[in-house]
Amino acid sequence: MLRIYADHRFVKPGQRHVVMLYPFWGKLPEDPRNPASGRFDRYVAQGRSLFALETLRDADVALLPAPWEDVRGDADARLLAHELAAEARAAGKPVVAFFWSDSTEPLPLDDALVFRTSLHASRRRPADFAMPAWSEDLVERYLGGELSLRPKRERPVVGFCGWAGAAGPPATAAPLRLSTGQRAGRSLKRRLQVLAAALGIKRRDTTRARVLRLLAGSGLIDTNFIIRDRYLGGPVILKEAADAEMAQRIRLEFVQNMVESDYVLCVRGVGNYSYRLYETLSCGRIPIFVNTDCVLPYDFAVDWKQYCVWVEEHEIVQVAEKVAAFHAGLSEHDFGDLQRASRRFWQERLSPEGFFTAFHQHLPLPVAAKAQ
Binning pLDDT at 50, 70 and 90, where does residue 246 land? confident
CA distance linking residue 318 with residue 217, whole number of Å: 12
Q: What are the φ/ψ torsions at residue 64 (nearest 5 degrees)?
A: -70, 110
Residue 11 CA to residue 249 CA, distance in Å, equals 38
With CA atoms as reference, report the closest residue to 312 among 296, 287, 289: 289
Does the pLDDT of residue 185 top 50, yes or no?
no
The pLDDT, as a whole number, for residue 33 is 80
pLDDT range class, residue 101, cuts 50, 70, 90: very high
Q: If pLDDT is split at 50, 70 and 90, which confidence band does 235 have?
A: very low
Q: Which ranges in the chain belong to alpha helices (H)?
A: 22-25, 41-46, 68-71, 75-91, 138-142, 188-199, 207-216, 236-240, 244-259, 275-282, 319-328, 332-345, 352-357, 365-371
Worst-scoring range by mean pLDDT, 97-101, 178-182, 359-363? Answer: 178-182
Confidence of residue 203 (pLDDT cuts 50, 70, 90): very low
Collapse the DSSP code of 222 into the 3-class scheme (helix H, G, I; strand E, B; otherwise coil) and give the result: strand
Least confident among 35-39, 208-212, 243-247? 243-247
Give the angle 204-261-314 at the CA atoms, nearest 5°: 35
Q: What is the mean pLDDT of residues 213-218?
A: 93
Task: Answer yes or no: is pLDDT of 217 > 50.
Answer: yes
Percent of the chain whose pLDDT exceeds 70: 83
pLDDT tens column, 262-295: 999 999 988 999 999 999 999 999 999 999 999 9
3-state DSSP assignment of residue 98: strand
- What is the average per-residue pLDDT within 209-223? 93
Instruction: Tell me the sheet residues that pair with 2.
Output: 51
Q: Which of 43-52, 73-82, 205-214, 307-316 has the lowest mean pLDDT?
A: 205-214
In this prediction, residue 188 carries a pLDDT of 44
- pLDDT of 186 reads 46
pLDDT digits (tens, 9 = 90+) for 332-350: 999 999 999 999 999 999 9
**pLDDT score recorded for residue 97:** 98
CA distance 18 to 22: 7
How much of the chain exceeds pLDDT 90, in percent?
Answer: 74
Predicted pLDDT at 201: 47
CA angle (353, 161, 214) in 5-degree steps: 115
For β-strands 176-179 and 222-228, DSSP reports them as antiparallel
Residue predicted with more confidence, 259 or 181 = 259
Which amino acid does the sequence have at 260?
Answer: E
Q: What is the mean pLDDT of residues 121-143?
A: 96
Tell me the per-residue pLDDT of 46-99, one tens digit each, with 9 for 90 and over. 999 999 999 999 999 999 999 999 999 999 999 999 999 999 999 999 999 999
What's the average model confidence in pLDDT over 151-161?
A: 96
Q: Which domains does the chain have, with CATH numbers?
A: 2-134+352-371 (no CATH), 138-350 (3.40.50)
> What does the radius of gyration of the chain's CA atoms come to, in whole angstroms?
22
Predicted structure pTM score: 0.88
Question: Predicted confidence band at 190 (pLDDT cuts at 50, 70, 90)?
Answer: low
- Count Cβ atoms below 10 Å from residue 243 Cβ, excluding itself: 10
Q: What is the overall mean pLDDT for the chain?
A: 87
> Is pLDDT larger for residue 148 or for residue 173?
148
